[in-house]
Amino acid sequence: LLQPIADGLKLFTKEPMRPLNASPTLLILSPILALTTAMLIWAPIPMPHPLSNLNLGLLSILAISSMAVNSILWAGWASNSKYALIGSLRAVAQTISYEVTLGIILLSTLILTGGFTMQLLTTTQKN
């Protein structure tokens, strides 16, 4: 039960390490971009009230989630290691292949609801 708290404390007490040849700006910016895209995905979702009322809510969620690929690629590129770059390219390819499946699922949802807005999706689910 307390394991996540202990892991968080251990994470904050660790010494930050980075490779010698690494680009410090990209190494710092890639996790920031990943966190930013993860937080932006929640903006069009109407929890009790949406943060932004977008006409193309589902499309914006798909577009923002596809921006997460950039942070993965930047993290591999920033280390200046060919193995890290190959690993990040594999992760990017895997993420893109999952996005195709997610796009097909969202397309079927759009056909059933008849619109792109998240409010229309929630009212369709209520009925």
Q: Is the pLDDT of residue 71 over 80?
A: yes
% of the chain with per-residue pLDDT over 90 = 17
What's residue 50's pLDDT? 63
- The pair of structure tokens assigned to 3 is 């394991």
Whether the full predicted model's pTM is greater than 0.85, yes or no, is no
Q: Is the pLDDT of residue 4 over 90?
A: no
Average pLDDT, the chain: 85
Write down how long the chain is. Answer: 127
In the predicted model, what is the mean pLDDT of residues 29-50?
A: 82
* Terminal-to-terminal C-alpha distance of the chain: 38
The Cα diameter of the chain in Å comes to 58
